Structure 1
Amino acid sequence: MTPFTEKVITVIRSIPEGYVMTYGGIARAAGSPRGARQVVRILHSMSRKYKLPWHRVVNVKGEIALADDESSSLQRLYLLGEGIVIDAKGVIDLQRYQYHPEPDEDYLLPPKE
């Protein structure tokens, strides 16, 4: 597993209940600001194995990005169950619900040599 993948998993695990992060926000926190697509692949391939709270990850517009109706409905249900409000257009208020990890959290620091 690459160091970036490990950091992404750690960042996703750190998202508290009742909050969301964007794919790009996770990539930035893991050290690769342009790695949003890689975050998507990591979520797709590793959510089950690492028991990631995949439902807390949304796109930059605050929308559920999953195209599959069943998966998007499940994500919506999980988010609502955590108290996250989704408006009539399917948008989450990122000003209110977006999680911003603290800059001093271990996974945000450069690797020790």
Structure 2
Amino acid sequence: MSKTFEIVYNAKTGEARAVDGLIWRTYGKGIPVKVVADNPARTTLRWEVKNVNVGSHGVASSGHTVRETVTLLKDTMDVQVRQMPLGYDNSFTGSGRCTAQPYNPRRK
């Protein structure tokens, strides 16, 4: 799980994009993400990273899909993150604090 990630969300249009370490290694750029909840208390976004290459105990495999869910609690700016490799019983969770910044369209 990445220690940092970047999300650009336009509440007026409902469009959002995200990039983290997994997305960057897989695609080399940010991807569109789905806004599954946006209310006064929280914003939740979800996406799937497909064709992920992984290695475990010296064995490499590819073609995996990882679902990522990020929830921002608006009153505290706390963030909850969950990664779930589809087809497996485990998942990974993390939390932190959002440092919101104004949107800069020139930034890639």
- TM-score w.r.t. the length of structure 1 is 0.31
Q: Hey, which of these two has a bigger chunk of helix by percent?
A: 1
